[in-house]
Structures are given as structure tokens and as C-alpha cells.
């Protein structure tokens, strides 16, 4: 809590917060309330109360005199301003990139919208999701129930960030999007759902709403069973004559070596009479990208200390550790999440991952990020103490 002159008055406690202060004068005093640790949506509620605990004026003498002027009644605090429903983001936010992708599952129908996080932001909302897929499934992913004027786009990614497929419109003239895919591996895949074109104004609740349906149609005939898994670089063709709902341009056939008889000119000295003939060799090149040799995995260990330097000695002391801070390790090239942990009661966190190269340490709550090379490194994050005035005028 700070005064109008920006001087700190008191600091909150943990887990519940309480502070007392003597007002230096009449006026407004803003109160800021924040969460120290990531909190699920269902628990993000609290009550805030302000109570005048000053002692009543003592009676000095029993001699009758004029009655004391009654204390004025305190002004009630205004109630918290609720987020208007027309700009309220969906329950899966924030999920604006790969590292914050929301976990979903096959068989779900999810109610969503394109209202950005935080509420009132002017950013374009892109929704990222993370789901577990298995060989043998025939997945169908589609957007339905689009609000009037809304247009969507779907992009499917492998765990390493490689694009699997994408679709704007299920059919010409439609706005909803749909994908069909038979996973050729068991593991994690990512899905991006984004708006296309202009986004309707958030003038009412549901003005930017849509639904995401993820279903397994194996055995239903929606995707032909027994279709061989294509090799890397080849298009996946389903049961439709044109393959997937989006347009796929097949790769041209691999060139072959053919003996040809042709007139050879230019390099040979001219001859009188008939021209020279010979065999022309055509060198074949495969258009399929070669299989990349995976780089060896190396262990990377990151140790982190987060502390609030209360005595301002620029060193972590006992009881200065900050608990519950999210610590993430990301792949530097693909931004893929490799591991996550929270600081313990002493503010320590130690996380070991395997990576083919450099990784990146990220502490989202503090906006802190640092590159890390194998085999790892130790880090300290110091939160400086606020310097309070010795006397309050």
C-alpha cells in the first residue's frame, strides 16, 4: 500500500495478507493486491476489508461538558469491478503460445472465444492446445458454432514444432475449419486455432465465441482404414478423392536415368556434313528431403535461487527464499517446454533435462529469461527490498 506521494507504508504477509497503518492525512490511498504463486481459476477469489481500529477517545474528566463530536462514519470501499461478459476471455487462457498451450484430450467439445488475455487487451487472440495422440487413432478436429462473422483457421504441429497440416475452410464458402489426421506416432501434438480476417467487435457476450471438437473416428469410415502412413515429405491422402479437405499438391515423380539420342553442339568442334550424335545422361535427384541425423542428447541441469533481500546485503539469507515461483526450461530453437518446477520453501529449484543443444531458462512471473549451455548453470534472482522512511511525517 502506497501513499499519494508514492512512499511505501507497509508490506503484505503470506499466505493471507494483513497490514495496519496510521493515515498521515485525509485523502485516497490505493491498495494493490497480487498473487504470489500461480493459482487455478476456481481459486482466484478473495475478500478485501478495511476496518478502523483506532481506540476511542478516552474520557479525561467526569465534569459535564459539551458532548463530543461524533466520529464520521467511514466511507465504504467500492466493490470490485467485474470483467464485462462481452470481453471476458475463455477458461483456457492464457494459452497464446506453445509454452502456455492448454492441455486438452481426444473426445472433448470445448467452448472457447477469441477474446484476448488479459481482458481488454488489443492483441489478436491465438489459442494453442496440447493433446496426446496414439498410433491407430483417426482424429477429426473441427471448429463449430462460430459466432456471426467469425472465421477460423487450424494448424496441427508435431511435438518438435514441425507442421503436420492446416485448414482454413472445410469447404469453399464456409468459415469453419476441419482437419483429419491418422497419427504416425504416439506422443504429444499441438493445435493452433486462430481467427482469419476481421474479428467481430466484442459488443455482447458470445460475439467472438466458437467450439473446438476433437474426436476419434477410427472404425467409423470417416477416414479410410488401412491407408499406409506416408513417408516424410509426402502428402497424406484420406478417403476423399481429393485427399484431405484442404488442397494438397502431390510431389512430382522422382526423375530416372534414360538413354537419349540427341544432337550435341557447342562443346565439340564443328564438322562438315552430318552432325555428331551421342548419349545424354540425366542425373537423378530425389525431391524427398534426406532423413536428418538426430543430434545426441546432452544432460542440462539448472539450479535457481529466488530470494527477497530483506536486509539488503545482496546475498540470500535464511527465511528470504520465495516459494511457489514457476521455473521453466525451454528448447532454444523450437520453444518447446522441456521441464517445469516450482521453487520450494527456501526459494530453491533444481531441474535437469535432456537437450540436443542450448536451452532457455524462463521465470514467467518475474519476466526473467536466460540462455543456458550444457551441462548447465546456477542462477540467483534477487528481489530488492523496499526502503521505508524512518518516520512518517
| Least confidently predicted of 190-204, 268-282, 332-346 | 268-282
Distance CA 129, CA 179 (A): 15
Distance CA 264, CA 279 (A): 9
Residue appearing with cell numbers 525451454:
330
Confirm if 154 and 191 have CB atoms less than 8 A apart.
yes
Segment 268-287 shows an average pLDDT of 56
Q: What is the domain partition of the chain in residue ranges?
A: 1-34, 86-216, 298-384
Segment 16-23 shows an average pLDDT of 80
Question: pLDDT digits over 71-83, tens only?
Answer: 556 555 555 557 7
Residue appearing with cell numbers 485516497:
28
pLDDT of residue 378: 94
Taking 90 as the threshold, does the pLDDT of residue 197 lie above it?
Answer: no
pLDDT over 90 percentage in the chain: 37
Instruction: Evaluate whether the domain defined by 86-216 bears CATH number 2.60.120.380.
Output: yes
pTM metric for this prediction: 0.41
pLDDT band at 294 (very low <50, low <70, confident <90, very high): confident
Beta bridge partners of 158: 189
Taking 50 as the threshold, does the pLDDT of residue 187 lie above it?
Answer: yes
pLDDT band at 356 (very low <50, low <70, confident <90, very high): confident
Q: Which of 59, 125, 73, 122 is nearest to 97 (CA)?
A: 125
Distance CA 246, CA 190 (A): 19
**Whole-number average pLDDT of the chain:** 77
Segment 37-56 shows an average pLDDT of 71
pLDDT of residue 237: 42
Distance CA 341, CA 328 (A): 7
Taking 70 as the threshold, does the pLDDT of residue 380 lie above it?
Answer: yes
CATH architecture type of domain 298-384: Sandwich (2.60)
Amino acid at each position: 500500500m502506497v501513499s499519494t506521494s508514492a512512499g511505501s507504508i507497509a508490506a503484505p504477509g503470506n499466505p493471507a495478507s494483513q497490514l495496519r497503518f496510521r493515515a498521515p492525512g485525509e485523502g485516497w490511498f490505493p491498495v494493490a493486491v497480487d498473487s504470489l504463486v500461480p493459482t487455478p481459476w476456481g481459486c482466484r477469489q478473495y475478500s478485501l476489508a478495511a476496518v478502523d481500529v483506532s481506540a476511542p477517545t478516552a474520557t479525561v474528566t467526569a465534569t459535564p461538558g459539551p458532548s463530543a463530536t461524533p466520529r464520521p462514519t467511514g466511507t465504504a470501499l467500492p466493490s470490485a469491478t467485474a470483467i464485462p461478459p462481452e470481453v471476458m476471455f475463455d477458461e483456457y487462457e492464457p494459452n497464446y503460445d506453445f509454452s502456455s498451450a492448454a492441455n486438452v484430450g481426444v473426445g472433448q467439445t470445448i467452448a472457447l472465444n477469441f477474446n484476448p488475455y488479459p481482458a481488454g487487451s488489443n492483441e489478436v487472440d491465438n489459442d494453442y492446445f496440447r493433446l496426446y495422440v496414439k498410433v491407430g487413432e483417426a482424429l477429426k478436429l473441427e471448429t463449430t458454432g462460430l459466432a456471426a462473422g467469425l472465421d477460423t483457421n487450424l494448424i496441427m504441429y508435431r511435438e518438435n514444432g514441425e507442421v503436420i497440416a492446416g485448414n482454413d475452410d472445410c469447404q469453399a464458402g464456409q468459415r469453419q475449419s476441419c482437419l483429419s489426421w491418422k497419427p504416425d506416432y504416439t506422443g504429444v501434438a499441438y493445435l493452433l486455432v486462430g481467427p482469419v480476417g476481421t474479428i467481430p467487435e466484442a459488443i455482447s457476450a458470445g460475439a467472438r465465441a466458437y467450439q473446438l471438437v476433437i474426436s476419434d473416428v477410427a472404425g467409423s469410415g470417416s477416414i479410410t482404414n488401412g491407408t499406409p502412413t506416408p513417408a516424410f515429405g509426402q502428402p497424406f491422402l484420406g478417403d476423399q478423392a481429393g485427399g484431405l479437405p484442404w488442397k494438397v499438391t502431390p510431389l512430382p515423380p522422382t526423375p530416372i536415368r534414360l538413354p537419349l539420342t540427341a544432337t550435341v553442339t557447342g562443346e565439340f568442334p564443328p564438322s562438315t556434313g552430318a552432325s555428331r550424335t551421342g548419349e545424354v545422361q540425366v542425373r537423378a535427384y530425389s525431391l524427398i528431403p534426406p532423413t536428418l541425423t538426430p543430434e545426441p542428447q546432452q544432460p542440462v541441469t539448472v539450479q535457481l535461487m529466488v530470494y527477497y533481500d530483506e536486509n539488503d546485503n545482496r546475498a540470500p539469507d535464511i527465511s528470504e527464499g520465495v516459494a511457489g515461483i514457476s521455473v521453466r526450461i525451454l528448447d532454444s530453437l523450437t520453444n518447446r517446454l522441456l521441464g517445469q518446477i516450482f521453487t520450494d520453501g527456501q526459494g530453491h529449484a533444481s531441474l535437469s533435462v535432456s537437450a540436443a543443444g542450448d536451452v532457455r531458462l524462463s521465470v514467467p512471473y518475474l519476466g526473467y529469461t536466460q540462455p543456458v549451455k550444457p551441462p548447465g548453470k546456477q542462477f540467483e534472482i534477487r528481489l530488492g527490498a523496499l526502503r521505508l522512511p524512518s518516520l512518517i511525517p
